[in-house]
Amino acid sequence: MKNKELLTVGELAKLMDTTVRTLQYYDKEGLLKPSHRSEGGRRLYTKKDMVQLHQILSLKYLGFSLEDIKNKLICIDNPDDVVEALNSKEEALKSQIEKLSEALSAVQSLRDEVLVIHEVDFNKYADIIALLRQKNDGYWVIKYFDNKLMTHIRDRFGERPEFGMSIFQKWKSMCDEVVLLKNQKETPEGNKGQELAKQWWSLVMDFTGGDMSMLPELMKFNNNKQAWTQEMKNKQLIADEFIGKALEIYFKNSGVKSTFSEEEFNELSNKS
């Protein structure tokens, strides 16, 4: 082959918009060996080498690793094998896109929460991140919990984050049920209303672990609805009236009232 048909490493790099160092690395790794060398040992490439480099750079752009290109793709000539490899890469890219989309959503959500918290509190940031990683859409409630409530949550659910997540989902579900019962003209004293009151109180006990000192903290959280998500704010406003009346009747009938003072009972019934 005539020398004018050969390309030096610098010429090939310039033509293919890559670097000499890249071509040297491809040579070292056995990915693209120059077809010729000069008497002085300089790398010389043919037009066929240039086509192979184009293939490497194209596949690298598509997201294939150099190891994949070296071991699987460069040597295959069967179109079906190429399609199979591309299909596999497509699925991998879709998975990466999904994960990146989730990460982007988490970053945006955390940013919004930080703006509302309006203070540097890395403990709350960490708790929000943990809930976001669990795909728990209740992450927003964290910013309304004071230190006492947050300490209780970490102590009670630190080793069982899935349990804490299930409590939030139950709360949402029961709020939905309250709305449904109201729409169906059910009353707090009816069988369905009383069954829901029983479930609601059971949920409170699951959350508090029986620690009654947590009840005032929950009431403070419930009274601070101004910045809740609009959906939960609307549902809880409906639940407050219905569940308050239902719990008052449930407490009297079940004997729970005897565990509270008259003042505590009235406050709990009115604000639950």
The predicted-structure confidence for 225-268, as pLDDT tens digits, reads as follows 766 778 888 888 888 889 888 988 998 888 765 455 445 545 44
CATH of 3-75, one of 3.40.50.300, 1.20.970.10, 1.10.1660.10, 1.10.10.60: 1.10.1660.10
> What was the pLDDT predicted at 216?
82
Count other Cβ atoms within 10 Å, centred on residue 261. 9
Bridge partners of residue 7, in order along the sequence = 45
Classify residue 72 by its DSSP letter: I
Lowest-pLDDT range, 41-45, 53-57, 65-69, 217-221?
Answer: 217-221
The predicted model scores a pTM of 0.47
pLDDT over threshold 90, residue 108: no
- Rounded CA gap, 72 and 39, in Å? 33
Q: Which of 151-155, 183-187, 258-262 has the lowest mean pLDDT?
A: 258-262
Q: What is the mean pLDDT of residues 159-167?
A: 61
pLDDT in the model for residue 244: 87
Residues 6+ positions from 122 with CB-CB distance below 8 Å: none
Domain boundaries of the chain, sorted by first residue: 3-75, 138-271
State the Cα torsion 194-162-225-173 to the nearest 10°.
-40
The whole-chain average pLDDT of the chain stands at: 78
Burial 15-50 (b: 16+ CB within 10 A, else e): ebebeeebbeebeeeebbebbeeeeeeebbbbeebb
pLDDT at 65: 86
Name the percent of the chain lying above pLDDT 90: 19
Task: Tell me the average pLDDT across 186-213.
Answer: 88
Residues 6+ apart with CB under 8 A from 77: none
Q: Which two tokens stand for residue 190?
A: 């009816």
Per-residue confidence (pLDDT) for residue 258, from 0 to 100:
45
Of 65, 1, 5, nearest to 29 by C-alpha is 65
Percent of the chain residues past pLDDT 70, beyond the cut: 72
The residues, any chain, with a CB within 8 Å of residue 149's CB and separated by 6 or more, are 214, 217, 218, 221
The pLDDT tens digits of the residues spanning 11-57 come to 999 999 999 999 999 999 988 999 998 888 899 999 888 988 988 88
Measure the CA–CA gap between 43 and 35, rounded to whole angstroms.
Answer: 8
Cβ density class 190-224: b for 16+ within 10 Å, e for less: eeebbebbeebbebbeebbeeeeebbebbeeeeee
Q: What is the pLDDT of residue 2?
A: 47
